[in-house]
Amino acid sequence: MAELVPVEAFDMVIFGATGDLARRKILPALFHRWCDGQIPENSRIIAAAREDMSTAEYLVRASEFVNGDKKDKAWAAFSKRVTYTAIDAHGESGGWQVIRDALKGDEAKIRLFYLALPPSVYGPVCAAIGKHALNTPASRIVLEKPIGHDFHSARHINEAVGAVFDEASIFRIDHYLGKETVQNLLVLRFANMLLEPVWNAGGIDHVQITVAETLGAGERADYYDRAGALRDMVQNHLLQLLCLVAMEPPLSLEGDAVRTEKLKVLRALRLIRAEDAGKCLVRGQYGAGMIDGSPVPGYTDELGQPSKTETFTAIRASIDNWRWAGVPFYLRTGKRMAKRRSEIIVQFKPVPHDIIRADAGVLQPNRLVIRLQPDEGVKLMMMTKDPGPGGMRLRYVPLNLSYADAFEADYPDAYERLLMAVVRGNLALFMRRDEVEAAWRWTDAVIRAWTEGASPVHSYAAGTDGPSQGALLLSRDEREWFDGDHA
Ligand code: BG6
């Protein structure tokens, strides 16, 4: 296990501290880093939310989501670092003065404001932080996706936040960038000599990116129904994955070096027009079905009202630049799919000339399977001679790197890593303003194409791979979706 390097001491104010995100992700992440000794003792967490309650009451609620062997003793020490303050985050309330008093005298210390709130209030809360003079030069603001619901709302939010915080102090979270295997994409591509010379239209036939979940919209149905799979997953997580696969080598891993290369990819993404919707876009919504052997209701039954929101989408994306001309990137994501898996599959081109006898088996092009979760790993499918007598017979077998077999490490969850990266000021793992806006421009075009092209929302049974039209998207190009488990 790699050595853990403690971060500098910090003060963190979590707005929306009684919400789901704070209780399920942020506090447990901080607690785990505390248990591993990465958070110095003189750090403080100020949990702020609308409800009136005492710190003790808050801690009882927060502890529901914290588990593990170390819990009892460590939780007692950790909770001493936490206080709760009732506040109307974007109005006038005494809570602001309480926070101000608590932070007073610590102006040089790293200060984090985490907005675990709906994006519509990011601007007003930042204005309030500014008005109460809480933003010091050492302050950082952390924002959750979605930043807006289209290009214009994102720009509006970015401007309001930017009026109080410099871009270099704004940390926009896309939690996929905190995943171990997503970070490995940079290492895989740029710390190995093998791949880069063929990592282009000359060597690669196409790329598939799949993020499939078995969960439904669940308790977040209200938010989800306004977002849908495109805004909830593609605009951020899938496009970020696409960027990491497609970008040019950055000058270094420094924040702006990486983000500038990602931005170039986003700007090179071809805007999909209404007349291309039929061959480039598919959307679907799950109906009732079976997940892991149990019946589950359809989306509209869960929601309790009719809806046209997509819970599945498949997109044939194109990157109009020198490296990727003519190489489709097929993106697919959905809820209530057959199994949970996030993976990137890079299909290489066939060898230029087949010198092996035709009866020895069909030559298959190499395929790289990058499994992001679960069963993290990297698999390179290769043609190999079947050992033994009987002449030249071919087999397509994997060179297999399974994380579970190769590494002992019990690596931190994405939020743990991202929170520590905020304290360190490592911007490379966060989205820059121009990236978010460029991603929205492309996403807005998809929505326009859906609307103007009157694209249907196809139904699919929960527990399947989405509507059959998703498969057509590839079969029309004489390709098929691969499943990394059987690649
Ligand atoms: C979130 C989406 O950003 O990512 C959710 O809002 C989705 O709808 C989640 O379930 C998936 O994240 P993970 O880490 O479970 O793949």
Q: Are 121 and 34 within one domain?
A: yes
Q: pTM of the predicted model, to two decimals?
A: 0.96
The CA distance from 422 to 415, in Å, is 10
Q: Is 112 helix (H, G, I), strand (E, B) or coil?
A: strand
**Residue 353 marked in a binding site:** no
- What are the DSSP calls for 383-452, one per residue? EEEPPSSSS--EEEEEEEEEHHHH----PPPHHHHHHHHHHHT-GGGSB-HHHHHHHHHHHHHHHHHHHH
**Residue 20 marked in a binding site:** yes
Main-chain dihedrals φ then ψ at residue 162, nearest 5 degrees: -65, -20
Q: Are 131 and 190 within one domain?
A: no
Q: Are 135 and 192 within one domain?
A: no
Domain region containing 137: 10-144
Q: Are 299 and 378 within one domain?
A: yes
N residues, the chain: 487
Task: Judge whether 149 lies within some domain.
Answer: no
The CA distance from 412 to 195, in Å, is 28
Q: Are 101 and 215 within one domain?
A: no
Task: Judge whether 152 lies within some domain.
Answer: no
**Residue 476 marked in a binding site:** no
pLDDT band at 12 (very low <50, low <70, confident <90, very high): very high
Using the atom order of ligand 1, give the atom closest to the CA of residue 373. Answer: 16
Q: Are 218 and 271 within one domain?
A: yes
Tens of pLDDT, residue by residue over 315-350, are 999 999 999 999 999 999 999 999 999 999 999 999
Q: Are 22 and 127 within one domain?
A: yes
**Residue 18 marked in a binding site:** yes
Q: 76 and 65 in contact (C-beta within 8 Å)? A: no
Task: Judge whether 45 lies within some domain.
Answer: yes
Q: 272 and 459 in contact (C-beta within 8 Å)? A: no
Bridging pattern class, strands 377-385 and 394-402 = antiparallel
Q: What is the CATH number of the domain that holds 345?
A: 3.30.360.10
Task: Judge whether 56 lies within some domain.
Answer: yes
Better pLDDT: 408 or 264: 264
Task: Judge whether 440 lies within some domain.
Answer: yes
Q: Are 299 and 387 within one domain?
A: yes
pLDDT for residue 3 is more than 80: no
Task: Judge whether 153 lies within some domain.
Answer: no
Q: Are 124 and 195 within one domain?
A: no
Main-chain dihedrals φ then ψ at residue 371, nearest 5 degrees: -90, 115
Tens of pLDDT, residue by residue over 28-60, are 999 999 999 999 999 999 999 999 999 999 999
Of 233, 239, 372, the one to substitute when testing ligand 1's pocket (max ligand atoms within 8 A of C-beta) is 233
How far does the centroid of ligand 1 lie from the alpha carbon of residue 108, in Å? 35
Q: Are 93 and 230 within one domain?
A: no
Using the atom order of ligand 1, give the atom closest to the CA of residue 342. Answer: 16
How far does the centroid of ligand 1 lie from the alpha carbon of residue 135, in Å? 30
Q: Are 296 and 203 within one domain?
A: yes
The residue whose C-alpha atom lies closest to atom 4 belonging to ligand 1 is 233
The CA distance from 421 to 415, in Å, is 10
Catalytic residue among 237, 353, 458, 486: 237
Residues lining ligand 1, judged by CB closer than 6 Å? 213, 232, 342
pLDDT band at 264 (very low <50, low <70, confident <90, very high): very high
Please name the residue ranges forming H helices in 111-201.
122-131, 151-162, 180-190
Q: Of 116, 144, 172, at which residue does a domain stop?
A: 144
Q: What is the CATH number of the domain that holds 92?
A: 3.40.50.720
The residue whose C-alpha atom lies closest to atom 2 belonging to ligand 1 is 232
Model pLDDT, residue 356: 82
Task: Judge whether 110 lies within some domain.
Answer: yes
Q: What angle do CA 210, 215, 218 make, to 5 degrees?
A: 135
Of 232, 312, 373, 376, the one to substitute when testing ligand 1's pocket (max ligand atoms within 8 A of C-beta) is 232
pLDDT band at 386 (very low <50, low <70, confident <90, very high): confident
Mean pLDDT of the chain: 94
Q: Of 118, 144, 170, at which residue does a domain stop?
A: 144
Mean pLDDT of 249-271: 97
Q: Are 186 and 135 within one domain?
A: no
How far does the centroid of ligand 1 lie from the alpha carbon of residue 57, in Å? 29
Using the atom order of ligand 1, give the atom closest to the CA of residue 236. Answer: 3
The CA distance from 50 to 53, in Å, is 9
**Residue 275 marked in a binding site:** no
Rounded alpha-carbon distances, angstroms, from residue 337 to 98, 156, 286, 328, 456? 47, 35, 9, 23, 19
> What's the structural domain count of the chain?
2
Task: Judge whether 239 lies within some domain.
Answer: yes
Q: What torsion, rounded to 10 degrees, do the Cα atoms 154, 155, 156, 158 define?
A: 80
237 as an active site residue: the answer is yes
